[in-house]
Amino acid sequence: MTISARFPTLQAWIRVFSRVVVLVLIVGLSLVWGWDGAIAATRAPQSVSVHLGTPSGELKFVPDHLQFQVGQRYVLKLDNPSPEKHYFTAKNFADTIWTQKVEAGNVEIKGAIRDLELRPSTTAEWYFVPQKAGEYELHCSIPGHAEAGMRGTISVVE
């Protein structure tokens, strides 16, 4: 038996080393960019409900202050009991969460979400995991609604 038959070639070592490097990079980037969200997605979500407007047509969020914890999975249950459509707009908040999905009207939506439009008598459920602590503005982006009182705050704590 020759020595070369007993020991891997340089090319074999390079292939093994390359695979190890790729695996380490994948795991490392997952930890940095959302492993927490993926792990939290396996836990049961904590439910939080918000009404967009009131049945009598008042322009407000009920409640108008929401608090979430970094790393906890949530389902935000939105409903619009008012006679007109409203938006749940919180762009800076949306930029700092890991969104699993939004369910609305027998449709499941995945990907980046910036705001949600709810027509009268409709509902939506937003499943997400906050990734960054901070204070964020919430408002209805229909002209005049925020100025009339349809705004709030979202706090994310460690």
- The residue ranges of every structural domain in the chain are 9-38, 44-157
- Hey, which residues does 109 pair with through a beta bridge? 102
Mean pLDDT rounded to a whole number for the chain: 87
- Hey, which residues does 130 pair with through a beta bridge? 97
Which CATH number is associated with domain 44-157? 2.60.40.420
| Per-residue exposure over 76-109, b if at least 16 CB sit within 10 Å of its own CB, e if not | bebbbbbeebbbbbbeebbebbbbbbbebeeeee
pLDDT in tens, 146-155: 999 999 999 9
Assess whether pLDDT exceeds 90 at residue 38: no
Of the two residues 115 and 10, the one the predictor is more confident about is 115
pLDDT at 18: 75
Global model pTM greater than 0.85: no
Assess whether pLDDT exceeds 90 at residue 40: no
